[in-house]
Chains A and B, each alone.
Chain A
Amino acid sequence: MPITMEIETLNNSFSIRLLSLFKRLNAVVFYRIAFGVMMALSIIRFWLNGWIEKIYITPSFHFSYYGFEWVRALGETGMYALYIAMFLSAIFIALGFLYRFSSIVFFATFTYVELIEKSIYLNHYYFISIIALLLCFIPAHKQFSLDVKFGITKPLEIFPRWMSLALQLQMATVYFFAGIAKINYDWLFNAMPLKLWLPTKTNLPFVGAWLSETWLAYLFSWCGMLFDTLIPFFLFWRKTKYLAYAVVVIFHALTAILFPPIGMFPFIMMVCAIVFIIPIQQEKNQANTFSLRKFLGFAPSIFGRVGIALFVLHFSFQFLFPFRYLMYPKDLFWHEQGFRFSWRVMLMEKAGMATFHVKEKNSNRIVAIRNSDYLTQQQEKQMCTQPDMILQFAHHLAWIYQKLGWENPEIYVENYVTLNGEGSRLLINPSVNLAAEQDGFSNKKWILPYNIEQQKLVGAL
């Protein structure tokens, strides 16, 4: 008798019920709900900040991604429709309602919107796109969902290991590559750019007063590098995962306080990293033995083999793509070829100004361009330090002047850039007609070397 009483009191206690729910909740299911909620909140924030209009509706020109020039902004109605679809699908993902459909809609709308404008490229948007893609393949709606409740899908007791592993691996990739990107001379031995950034936050309460200390910039630089590189391993390791998760929370809370412009990213990572600490349900009697059948959740058929191939292919790509910078000359931060889609976050302080000139071939006609006539502040700021965007804008100007009746307009730019507090210098060769250059994956020869002496050799100075 006393035992049953005890159970009753336990069951009535809210915390126990929460704990038991937490325990029964699969990591994948938790992830689905958390992801849906976070996305819905992010979309609301984006909308309320007026960014849909500022970024996608007002500008007359968009910086598209190489190979995705066909992705266009859809005008006011179209953009808001996209965002409404994105918002609803995020909510549906959280609720597990029409999940298969909703996850595809979310992935498609989110990725489409991100591909419209390069000047707001963020690594965490790329991360969200990938997670959304993974969720299209993972049946995360087979527990705690409206789909199960309405009988749209059959519930699943045990989720095969590959599902949570895919989500964990993807997060690990982000941390790991963000970490090894920090293993560079400027970051570790000059504490750049943290030495420039931290002192700008001295008006923060409490921590502010000692952010101006140089040793702190070094400490943060080294800790940041070690944290990013090692945390995935500690999160995977059973014995350290709780401690590692606590460190994740502290680390991201710090970045959220110190660098407010990074927005939702710290919170998304904090919530998503829970996927590492939720106990993984395992089939009884097989707890510690590995079998392919258990890993996949079914015996490896042809279909299963294709699945494995996709899984391996995806993560091979994820692991190799960030290394493409090795195919370009050194000074990656300067020319930024192979910089994006590689989890290089908060790595450098870069600023610049670019003065464009349009010159008609075989005539004296020449004009200087006021960038603000064509670009928003955000677009101009981003463009001034990134060669591929300079080229895109140059092509846009050539197109405009052709429309105005100029014959063979040539575009030249004088583009001064400073990197990590080093003296500004020319980024683009000012004597190269950019209208005649093409974008692509091959090395852009019209980008000048970072080294001033080498610039002199090229004859640019």
Chain B
Amino acid sequence: MCLALVLEHIKFEKNYAMVLKYFLSRLPILAVVLLFLQTSACKEKKSDYDRKPLLENLGNNVIVPAYKQAQTKSLALKVAIADFTAAPDVPKLQATKTAFKEAYIAWQAVENFDFGKATGLTLTLNNFPADTVRILSNLSSGSYDLNQAGNLRAKGFPALDFILFSVSDENMFVNTVGNFHTKQYLNDVAADISNNITAVYDDWNAGYLNTFTAATNLDLGGSVSILCNSWAQYTERSRRERVGNSLGYVGLIATGNIDTKMLEAFYSNYSKELLIANLQAGKNIFTGGAGIGFDDYPQVKEASFQGVPLNEEIANQYDKCIAAANQISTDFKTALTSDKPKMESLFLELKKLTVLVKVDLASAVGVTISYADNDGD
């Protein structure tokens, strides 16, 4: 009886032990195979799918230089405004206007990077159309807090655009700039722009660049995901706010109500140059300039858009958008009434670009924005 029990125990144990032994005995073989594959794969394609070089190139050669340029130009703008307001004359006003244009163009190259310390910066520095009523009331009262939410459209580049350019007679502007608190306001807005951009630039140099290039993971907190989301969002903004709104589009539906005042840089008429600068900056993110960009990303080459590899399609689409903008011989304000079909075709190209960056690229790169479990569908 007892013996039978023992035998049963042993038989039972043997069953499991045999299975276990079988696997344990094969473990070394498995390990050797894995090791072999590991080393051979390492030799051949080490950098292929490593996102580190991509982030390093974008950080070092695209983003930080763009901020450096924006920082320099915004500082120059601040100085020009200080000079002009100290002793206003027409040459200094013209120098200020040039500095404004250069700073605004430099800004376009960093607008896509609305993350990290720069989160929300676009809302603060380039929120158009300008709230002219609010600006005039600030000018006359002289008491305002630029950090107030109510002043989001009363500062930044749109505010300078309005103040510096709405009076087309330059002599008259020079003579009247001393009225109200205009000088003080110009200086405060320019300082606000310069300080904000400098703060972000300093942050990138103080360690954010390292944080950015180190976060090679693809999920919510990863740099690729953060960059792609912000970039896609601002690509869509170009379509909607730089062209669509003034053309009378509500979302993607045309109402036919043209409203030139919705344009970026409505008073200075730099809308076209700014859009082109913005698109070139976007293309630069995609190609990585001379270095590694998203067009080198294997899955972006693997994916296709109606038969064309996605990396070519997106680069082409950027070129098409820039070409469509260049097709417009006048400024956007004039074109909206005299050359509307060309504005419409620019809008359509921008719409296609938005879909490519927001949908096709994001999917190919593997950016996930979900925070809960998923089945992968």
Contacts and interface: CB of A to CB of B under 8 A. Distances in A.
A19 B16 contact: yes
Residue among A3, A351, A367, A422 with the highest chain B CB neighbour number at 10 A: A351
Given A122-B375, A197-B376, A423-B304, A381 B45 contact: no
Interface in A393-446: 412, 414, 416-418, 421-424
B239 to A, nearest CB: 10
A432 to B, nearest CB: 14
A36 to B, nearest CB: 20
A19 B12 contact: yes
Residue among A197, A259, A349 with the highest chain B CB neighbour number at 10 A: A349
B32 interface: no
B169 interface: no
B5 interface: yes
Nearest to A417: B359
B14 to A, nearest CB: 11
Nearest to A419: B363
B31 to A, nearest CB: 11
A206 B219 CA distance: 20
Contacts of B217: 203
Interface residues on B, range: 35 or more
A210 B37 CA distance: 7
Contact of B250 (A23, A366, A378): A366
A245 B14 CA distance: 17
Contact of A424 (B5, B49, B359, B366): B359
A133 B284 CA distance: 56
B253 interface: yes
B323 interface: no
Contacts of B61: none
A261 interface: yes
Residue among A211, A356, A424 with the highest chain B CB neighbour number at 10 A: A424
Nearest to B35: A206
A74 interface: no
Which applies to chain A's interface (DSSP): helix, strand, loop or mixed?
mixed
Given A203-B217, A357-B250, A423-B304, A212 B376 contact: no
Contacts of A242: 15, 19
A119 to B, nearest CB: 9
Interface in B333-363: 354-356, 358-360, 362-363
A217 B49 CA distance: 14
Given A200-B366, A346-B376, A421-B303, A357 B252 contact: yes
Interface string A200-212: 1011001101111
Interface of A: 3-4, 6-7, 10, 16, 19-20, 23, 49, 51, 54-55, 120-124, 193, 195-197, 199-200, 202-203, 206-207, 209-213, 242-243, 246, 259, 261-265, 279, 339, 344-353, 355-357, 359, 364, 366-369, 377-378, 381-382, 385, 412, 414, 416-418, 421-424, 452
- Nearest 3 CB-CB pairs, A to B? A368-B251, A263-B373, A423-B305
Interface of B: 2-3, 5-6, 9, 12-13, 15-16, 19, 23, 34, 37-38, 41-42, 45-46, 48-51, 216-219, 250-253, 255, 298-299, 302-306, 310, 313, 354-356, 358-360, 362-364, 366, 368-377
12 contacts: A6-B6, A120-B372, A121-B375, A197-B366, A209-B45, A209-B46, A210-B38, A349-B363, A418-B303, A421-B364, A423-B306, A423-B360
Given A209-B42, A353-B359, A421-B299, 13 more contacts: A124-B375, A196-B366, A197-B366, A207-B34, A210-B41, A261-B374, A262-B376, A346-B375, A352-B359, A378-B369, A385-B377, A416-B359, A418-B360
